[in-house]
Amino acid sequence: MTPLIMETLPTRWEIELEFVQSLCNIQYLQYLTQNNYLKDERFIEYLKYLRYWQKPEYAKYLVYPNCLHVLLLLQNKEFRDGLVRVEVVEGLMNEMVGRWAGTNSNGNETQTNGEAEEVAEKEAGNEKKEPIEMALKVSPAELLFLVSFLANFVVGKIVHYFSPDEEVYSYYTNKKNFINQLFVKRGWGWTTLFVAVFYALVLTRSKPAGAKREPMVRVIGAAAVRYALVTLWWVLFTQWCFGLPLMDKIFVWTGGKCEVNSVKEGFEELFEMASHPFNTEAVKSDLQTFTSTVVSSYQCRRLKGSWTGGHDPSGHVFLMIHSSLYMFLEGLPFWASWTQLWNETTKVARQIRHENRWNGIGPYVHSNPHILFVALIGLWWFMLFMTNVYFHSIAEKFVGLLFGYLGIFAVYYAPRWLATETKKNRVD
């Protein structure tokens, strides 16, 4: 191969990378349609040639993998001809926005745009194969991940009931264990950090040209809105909700209170002396306690008090589920395959083990940012299992689980269901 050819190959590869990703730009598709490119046989053959971008070794360089969806649609003549119709363009635009926003509405009216049969099989809208997905707008992977937390819950209780005491009451029974103190106590901070790094890596995997800047802004904007919403739900449940956080309100509403032996200066107005069924002053002084229903669980711990009575929803269960689902759904639109991740991981592992080469870790993480989510979700899932084995009653953990699901369903799944109902109403 001559030096001249070697110099031109990267340029051609970069041009094709930019072109494939520009297919996510609806205005660019309209330009191709208006200038009859989609009726040119040579151009159509070129589109067929570009399908090599579906291979994992190439797809990993795409900042917007959903452009492959458009590339597949363009293989179909009926779809190409339909792009002259406003309703087809609007339908595709809505679908692309939904994909960028993480609210993919596969299987809706977009399939009436004339998708090729193989595209319909690749997308999760095949009513024959995936009736659950058609009905619930939840992909099989999402459903499996959602159910995994229920499995964690059940298996944790089985381990608790049938394990010997020395296994049930172990290192993880101590709330001051290293993992709990370093990671779980700062759980939302770690989640925020990993999501920020993930998007930084995803959006810098290739240099964006002018045609990609607008979609990139939309991707970041949609991600920021979702982060704000899920963070708000975390704050309301665990930190503050117009006074006590929701989990503490539930505890107080069900008869709970904070109990301390002595009140620190500045907190006197928040506590009252507890009554005792004893009359002698000596006994009263020995058993003197103070109670409050207006301090949070965090403040109660800081005052060396204890929660007594009431139903105490598990904040740990809520955090682990809320955080794991959030990362999973944020990473899903950019996911390629487990095969690609496994191959890349084993490759860099061999380099480290056999050649002692550590310089490949940086490029590996940059090309496979999902490994960050896999690692943190794995840790959260393990700590959730420890919580299910060691702490809280079944009811308290179940309430934490429900609230962990609730916020995610409101942000990610409710828009899908509402969009489906809206489209049905338009048709009717």
Tokens representing 202 are 């995803």
Instruction: Give the span between the Cα atoms of 358 and 343, in whole angstroms.
Output: 17
Annotated active-site residue in 316, 322, 354, 366: 316
Q: How far apart are the first and last CA of the chain?
A: 62
Is residue 316 among the annotated active site residues? yes
Q: Can you give the chain as a three-state secondary structure string?
A: CCHHHHHHHHHHHHHHHHHHHHCCCHHHHHHHHHCCHHHCHHHHHHHHHHHHHHCHHHHCCCCCCCHHHHHHHCCCHHHHHHCCCHHHHHHHHHHHHHHHCCCCCCCCHHHHHCCCHHHHHHCCCCCCCCHHHHHHCCCHHHHHHHHHHHHHHHHHHHHHHHCCHHHHCCHHHCCCCHHHHHCHHHHHHHHHHHHHHHHHHHCCCCCCCHHHHHHHHHHHHHHHHHHHHHHHHHHHHHCCCCCCCHHHHHHHHCCCEEEECCCCCCCHHHCEECCCCCCCHHHHHHCCCEEECCCCHHHHHHCCCEEECCCCCCHHHHHHHHHHHHHHHHHHHHCCCHHHHHHHHHHHHHHHHHHCCCCCHHHHHHHCCHHHHHHHHHHHHHHHHHHHHHCCCHHHHHHHHHHHHHHHHHHHHHHHHHHHHHHHHHHC
| Residue 303: count of CB within 10 angstroms of its CB | 21
User: Which residues make Cβ contacts (< 8 Å) with residue 270, sequence separation at least 6?
Assistant: 263, 292, 294, 295
Is residue 354 among the annotated active site residues? no
Annotated active-site residue in 69, 322, 370, 392: 392
Instruction: Give the span between the Cα atoms of 28 and 34, in whole angstroms.
Output: 10
Polymer length in residues for the chain: 428
Query: What Rg value do the Cα atoms of the chain yield, rounded?
Result: 27
Across the strands, what pairs with 306? Answer: 259
- Catalytic sites, residue numbers: 316, 392
